[in-house]
Structure 1
Amino acid sequence: MNGLIQFLTKIQTFNLLTITKVELKSPIKEDGNKPAYSLAHETHYYDSFTYKSEIRVLKDMALIDLLSLTDTSLKREYEQLKKLKERFKLIWTNFHQYYGELKAKYPSNFIFSIQLDYLFIVNNLQSDYKDIYIGDEFVESLHDTLKIRDKFLSELVSEVDEILNPRETFEEWMVKQENQPEQVEDATAKLPPKIPYNPDAGRPKFNRQYIDDFLQLIRTYFSEEHFNQLGALIKAEEQPANQMIFNGNSNKLADAFKQLYEANLIVGCNKAELEKWILKNFLYSNGDKVNEYSEGWLSAIISSDTKVCKSPILEVRMKDKVPFLVPTVRNKKNSKY
């Protein structure tokens, strides 16, 4: 089980570096004599391009180890992996609570406030934390490395879940409908039954009365091509050829969908299914690069009660028990979005 151990150790260990002002990509405006924490070596934030590949390989090795287990042992490991996923959801909730979209500097106790040291292993954490500068470079790097770890943990959990609870594909369902084979006792009879195919299960349904208003409010956040694809997806459930890019702070789009869901303007799915739908269909760009959403990150926004979006795109308000969409005033510092 060495592969599984290496993977789980890697995604739960944060190796902080302490660097000087000169080494920072974004120079410190104040507290110039203080050292600063860095995690850029574990992300794509600047110059590190191997960390993500390393985590991916370790995830594949972990899966190979799990495939060698008996059903009972595999189920036991699966439950432990789900507990770890819950810890990632908690760190995302804590992160969003203290994260600021426009902050350049964070409190010196930021790491302790989000409980990173409690939930995971944090190496090189200084006891005199007040002497360490924490700026937006570190927080964005932490955000990126958490996404990488969360992404591959979620993939591993999904792959194990598929082994324990195999899904019936649309093609398999069609063949079964055409042939209607008789029940035959054979070697496959001991396998767990496949979950039947349901094309509408978990698919968000938008209240048509509000679709045009919603689309107009978010139009400026998409290119014309992706905006047209978004309209087709929401109105006619036409799947886009590729993921659509939301041009803005990552939590704005998730917050908008969450508000629609909680006002019953999105139905036909639960919050977890809405998160998977966003994960499948959207990327985001904050101006310098295109990023993927992560399952735990979305869950911390949509499934928790924490208010994480400081400058939302819209608000859903009620008048005489009837909802209506209201655009919000954008922060001038973030007006490009």
Structure 2
Amino acid sequence: MQHLKEFLTRIQTFDLRIIEDDIHMEWGTNEKKHVKVYDISHQTQYYDSFSYRSELRVLKDMAFIDLIALDKERIKLQLEELAKVRERFKEFWRNYHDHHSEMTQVYERHFVFSVNLEYLFIVNGLQSTNAEIEVSSKFAEDLGESVKLREKFLRELIYATETAIKPKRSEAEFKEWLDAEREKREAATAETTNETIITPKSETPDVSETAAVQEAVTEPELSQEQLAAGKLVGYYPTFKEGAAGQLFDLLKTYFVPEEHAALEKLLLDDEAPASPLLFRGSATQLADAFKQLKEANLIVGCRMSDLERWIAPKFLYLSPQSQPRELPEDYLNGLMSGTKRPCKSPILKIERKEDKFFIVPASRNKK
């Protein structure tokens, strides 16, 4: 289990460096000062840090070999421990989104302590706030990117291990089970409401279009068995009639014209793009847009976590440095599933007049 130990230690260890840089120190001015700042760019997948990504990938592959050499019961125990580590990353994202914004250029020295990084993980090189080591906006962004990368390989390890111990089903057995689970879901949801909306073509192969039922505002608690079934059967976002078209008309201004056709197919026909679409705005703006629609019941047929899972592989966003960045599930979870609204500059608002709804621009701020 040496490789698993090395992998878990590596993804939970943050090696901060101290460098000198010119950064903004005061709000409302473009003046910069030459100061000492924290740096973690060497533990991201950007800049010249490709070796770190490769190192984590190799450690992850070796950790998987350690795991599959165990018996099934011990593998399950190890998966429980891996789930605890993943939950630690989720807690980091909740803290991070409370104290970080793409609009922020000036950070307090206690930012690292505010997100509880030193409590959740091993942090080398961190000094007290009296040491006059500043936190730059670049460091705040790089810290998030570093966590995304670590979390990515942890998710891959968990998924590969779970897949390896699943009982094998024949094609006929799997289809029979899948159909039965869908029927159970439809029967259960049909008891709560009579309002139905036709679901767009599912991403699940060989599954016909079904009727999705508008869910209550409060999301139901699901058992572990139901959650596992939900991941395979698929809870897909269903737009209320007219919502997808209005959302497309608003969102398309944030994408290059070459991506408009793919965006329209995604929103109106649930046809996933061949590659992620680049939203030319912030992550919080995109997440807030979908969250508003979900909370207004203009997106139904899924839980918020399912919507996050649906969004993650389909979109990228622009960092403050105008670089494409990924949207992992747990990162989105911190933005969408909490009660707070991290977005300081939303791009839309939803207005209702009698029995009609309108998705209208709330801001023209875009990159």
Check whether TM > 0.5.
yes
**CA 1:166–1:220 in structure 2 vs 1: closer, same or farther (change >3 Å)?**
farther
Equivalent runs, 1:1-337 vs 2, <5 Å? 1-21=1-21, 29-32=31-34, 34-129=35-130, 131-165=132-166, 173=174, 201-286=234-319, 288-320=322-354, 323-330=357-364, 335-337=365-367
Is 1:248–1:284's contact at 8 Å kept on the other side of the alignment?
yes
The alpha-carbon distance between structure 1 residues 198 and 109, as it changes in their structure 2 partners (threshold 3 A), is closer
- SS of the residue corresponding to residue 283 of structure 1 reads strand
Task: Say if 1:319 and 1:157 are closer, same or farther in 2 by CA, change over 3 A.
Answer: farther
Q: Provide the rounded CA distance (Å) in 1 between the counterparts of 2:345 and 2:86.
A: 28
Q: Which amino acid aligns with 1:297?
A: Y
Aligned partner letter, 1:316: I
The DSSP-based 3-state class of the residue aligned with 2:128 is: coil
Distance 1:170 1:267 in 2: 30
Task: Confirm or deny: 8 A CA contact 2:318 2:324 kept in the other structure.
Answer: yes
1:151 aligned counterpart, secondary structure: helix
The residue type equivalent to 2:155 in the other structure is S
Contact 1:168 1:196 in 2 (8 A): no
The Cα shift of 1:167 comes to 7.9
Whole-angstrom distance in 2 between the partners of 1:120 and 1:173:
41
Give 3-state SS (helix, strand or coil) of 1:35's partner.
Answer: strand
Q: 1:49 and 1:198 mapped to 2: Cα distance?
A: 32
Would you say the 8 A contact 1:41–1:47 is kept in 2? yes
Q: 1:283·1:293 contact (CA, 8 Å) conserved in 2?
A: yes
Q: Which has the higher contact order (CA 8 A, sep 6+)?
A: 1
Structure 1 counterpart SS, 2:308: helix
Say whether the 8 Å CA contact 1:173–1:197 is kept in structure 2.
no
**Which amino acid in the other structure matches residue 110 of structure 2?**
N
Q: Give per-residue Cα distances to partners, 1:287-318, cap 9 Å, x unaligned.
A: 64322211210111122223111111112344
The aligned amino acid for 1:19 is I
For the residue of structure 1 that corresponds to 2:250, the secondary structure is: helix
- Residues 242-277 of structure 1: CA deviation (Å, up to 9, x unaligned): 222212212221221111111111112222221111
RMSD over aligned Cα atoms: 2.8
Do the aligned residues in 2 keep the contact of 1:167 with 1:196 (CA within 8 Å)?
Answer: no
Is this contact kept in 1: 2:351–2:357, CA < 8 A?
yes
Sort the Cα spacing of 1:82 and 1:169 in 2 relative to 1 into closer, same or farther, 3 A.
Answer: farther
Partners of 1:153 and 1:327 lie apart in 2 by 38
Letter in 1 for 2:328: S
CA contact 2:235–2:302 (8 Å) conserved in 1: yes
CA drift of 1:284 comes to 2.2
Q: Could you report, residue by residue, the CA deviation over 1:148-176 in whole angstroms, capped at 9, with x for unpaired residues?
A: 01111111122222234458697984699
Using the aligned pairs only, state the percent identity.
Answer: 40
Partner of residue 192, structure 1: none
SS at match of 2:127: coil
- Once the two structures are TM-superposed, the CA of residue 324 in structure 1 deviates from its matched residue by 3.3
Q: What SS class does the counterpart of residue 53 from structure 1 fall into?
A: helix
Q: Check whether the contact 1:169–1:197 (CA below 8 A) recurs between aligned residues.
A: no
3-state secondary structure, aligned to 2:105: coil
Confirm or deny: 8 A CA contact 2:252 2:263 kept in the other structure: no
In structure 2, the CA distance between the partners of 1:321 and 1:110, relative to structure 1 (3 Å rule), is farther
Check the 8 A contact 1:203/1:268 in 2, yes or no.
yes
1:61–1:254 CA distance, 2 compared to 1 (3 A): same
Counterpart AA for 1:256: A
Cα distance in 1 for residues equivalent to 2:276 and 2:172: 24
Task: Supply the AA of the counterpart residue of 1:201.
Answer: G
In 2, the alpha carbon distance for the partners of 1:198 and 1:37 equals 40
- Whether the aligned pair in 1 keeps the contact of 2:36 and 2:134 (CA below 8 Å) is yes
Query: Shift of residue 74 of structure 1?
Result: 0.8
Gaps of 5+ in 1: 178-194
